[in-house]
């Protein structure tokens, strides 16, 4: 066997005899490792595995007026895939995601690039001001926008009174656009900070080399900044998709504030599941809906991650 083959040959773990000091040290190290992992494992099981397992159990039952819960197997899932109201909510959320997420991320990217250019005054104030909406609770944000965009009272009500117009941001055809404005306002700053932190980690030597080569600002953005942001862009897309699929607060609160908004009990899958469980007393059907949406969201997020990793390797 040559020296090169000996160097490249993978190391083989040598078993340690029981009762030796090395055996006790290795076992002690393993126990310490499990002790560090145990708190997270317990918390993960309590807040993730146990609820999902219980939801899967509930999805196999159906509440009946007489006799209480009865085992129905996969009947809830079969019923769900033929439920027109469920697919209406899914279609609405997917359409919302395809439009709102790109708009929000492009806006966050432009703001991050503007901040990183160091050509703006008051950048610290602007950074905090743009991020501040993310710190506002979703319920408070919805109430604020509902008052501002409502025609009975608020900004658009005053505009209609002054101009004699009939602008209503909460018509059935425009309610989803108004919700998109709320979500974009709330999460653009969060994504901007992710992009901004990545840009700050770019080595200064790359900018110096680009300046020596005479590269302009747009060339630097295209050749240095955008490639550096590729990984964070994939992460923000995944987070944004998960967030938009979970829209609940806005369609839940707005019907009590505005009239004729077009928001139904099945406007989004999350709202539909909530109404099924707590209004319609159909916990099993709601659990099946939640599990199907969770699987659908995981599949979409995984596909985006795989595509992002493949694009990164092709570069």
Give me the residue spans of the domains in the chain.
14-71, 83-314
User: Which pLDDT band, with edges at 50, 70 and 90, does 107 fall under?
Assistant: very high
SS (H, E, C) 258-272: CCCCCCCCCCCHHHH
CA 14 to chain CA mean position, Å: 46
Q: Of the given ranges (64-78, 151-165, 209-223, 266-280), which has the lowest mean pLDDT?
A: 151-165
Q: Residue 55: which pLDDT band, with cuts at 50, 70 and 90?
A: very high
The pLDDT value recorded for residue 311 is 63
Band of the pLDDT at 88, cuts 50, 70, 90? very high
Contact 141, 149 (CB under 8 A): no
Name the range with the highest mean pLDDT among 92-106, 141-155, 192-206: 92-106
Could you tell me the CA-to-CA distances from 17 to 117, 141, 183, 211 in Å, in that order? 62, 64, 61, 62
Which string of b and e fits 176-208 if b means at least 16 CB within 10 Å?
A: bebbbebbbbbbbbbbbbbbbebbeebeeeeee
pLDDT class of 153 with cuts at 50, 70, 90:
confident
**How far apart are alpha carbons 302 and 91 in whole angstroms?**
20
Question: 263 or 212, which is more confident?
Answer: 263
Instruction: Check residues 150 and 183 and name the one with the higher pLDDT.
Output: 183
Whether residue 1 has pLDDT greater than 70: no
User: 238 CB contacts (<8 Å, ≥6 apart)?
Assistant: 301, 304, 305
pLDDT band at 79; cut points 50, 70, 90: very high
Lowest-confidence range among 53-62, 77-86, 207-216? 207-216
Question: How confident is the model over 158-163, as a mean pLDDT?
Answer: 81
E strands in 11-127: 61-64, 68-71
Mean pLDDT along residues 174-178: 91
* Residue of 4 and 231 predicted with greater confidence: 231
Q: How far apart are CA 21 and CA 280, in angstroms?
A: 64
Q: What is the CATH number of domain 83-314?
A: 1.10.3720.10
d(CA 135, CA 127): 13
């Amino acid at each position: 066997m040559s020296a090169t083959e000996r160097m490249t040959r993978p190391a083989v773990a040598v078993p340690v005899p029981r009762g030796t000091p090395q055996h006790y040290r290795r076992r002690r190290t393993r126990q310490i490792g499990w002790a560090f992992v145990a708190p997270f494992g317990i918390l993960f099981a309590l807040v993730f595995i146990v609820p999902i397992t219980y939801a899967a159990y509930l999805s196999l039952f159906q509440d009946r007026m007489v006799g209480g819960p009865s085992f129905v197997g996969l009947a809830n899932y079969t019923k769900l895939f033929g439920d027109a109201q469920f697919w209406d909510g899914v279609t609405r959320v997917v359409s919302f995601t395809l439009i709102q997420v790109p708009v929000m991320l492009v806006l966050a990217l432009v703001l991050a690039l503007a901040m990183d250019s160091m050509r703006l005054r008051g950048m610290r104030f602007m950074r905090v001001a743009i991020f501040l909406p993310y710190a506002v609770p979703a319920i408070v944000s919805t109430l604020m926008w509902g008052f501002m965009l409502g025609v009975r009272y608020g900004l658009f009500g005053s505009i209609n009174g002054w101009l004699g117009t009939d602008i209503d941001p909460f018509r059935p055809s425009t309610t989803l656009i108004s919700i998109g404005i709320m979500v974009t306002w709330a999460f653009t700053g969060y994504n901007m900070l992710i992009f901004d932190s990545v840009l700050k980690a770019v080595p200064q030597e790359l900018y110096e080399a680009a300046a020596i080569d005479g590269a302009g600002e747009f060339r630097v953005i295209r050749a240095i900044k955008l490639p550096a942001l590729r990984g964070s862009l994939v992460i923000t897309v995944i987070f944004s998709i998960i967030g938009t699929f979970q829209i609940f607060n806005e369609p839940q609160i707005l019907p009590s504030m505005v009239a004729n908004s077009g928001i139904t009990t099945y406007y989004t899958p999350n709202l539909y599941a909530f109404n099924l469980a707590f209004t319609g007393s159909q916990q099993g059907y709601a659990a099946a809906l939640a599990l199907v949406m969770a699987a659908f969201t995981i599949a979409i997020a995984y596909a985006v991650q795989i595509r992002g990793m493949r694009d990164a390797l092709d570069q």
